[in-house]
Amino acid sequence: MKTIQTQARYIEWLSAEEMHKHSQDWLSELRFIRDEHLFFEDLIKSYTLQMIDPEKFSHNKEIIDAINRSQKKNNLLIEALKVHENELEIMLDGIDQPKQEEAYKKEHRGIIVEVNQFKKDYIMLKKQLFDIIKTIKKDEKNRRLLDRK
């Protein structure tokens, strides 16, 4: 099923302070996600032997590859937000530059969409990884219980 990109019909007017706050919030969230990616790497290393099980290897490899792509995308978004934040001066310099200010607002709206989509994809990816780990833990527990008998 293909999704169709639509234009927002109602666009709230954002002040420079609100755009700054959005950027700071996004940076904070993306930095936290960066730390979570490091946790995921450790988690994957801890369960490598179970994850390379031939029956589930291709599925697990897809998830691991998706995590790596997510990590790269996250780093790109952090850098883009830093640049975007530095360009906020256009809005605050007191000089009337309607074209540059409109371009900045348009870029901000684009970042809103991009960050929200990234977070949505990231949450799905995180859930998939935890489902894999949960299955591994259940299998280990079942094996231990069977070994006791």
Q: Tell me the C-alpha to C-alpha distance, in Å, between residue 3 and each of 6, 106, 127.
A: 9, 22, 22
Cα–Cα distance for residue pair 49/147, rounded to 1 Å: 19
Per-residue confidence band for 146, with pLDDT thresholds at 50, 70 and 90: confident
Between 96 and 2, whose confidence is greater? 96
Confidence of residue 6 (pLDDT cuts 50, 70, 90): low
Give tens-digit pLDDT for 40-62. 999 999 988 888 888 888 888 99
Element (H, E) at 46: helix 16-46
Quick one: tokens of 84? 């975007």
pLDDT of residue 58: 87
Average pLDDT, the chain: 86
* Run of H or E including 135: helix 98-148
Report the SS3 class of residue 3. Answer: coil
What is the per-residue pLDDT for 9?
45
Q: What is the pLDDT of residues 76-98, one digit of tens each?
A: 999 999 998 888 877 777 777 77
Residue 12 pLDDT more than 90?
no
**pLDDT band with cut points at 50, 70 and 90 for residue 10:** very low
Domain boundaries, the chain: 16-143
The C-alpha atoms of residue 139 and residue 35 are separated, in whole angstroms, by 28
Q: What is the pTM of this model?
A: 0.80
The pLDDT value recorded for residue 56 is 84
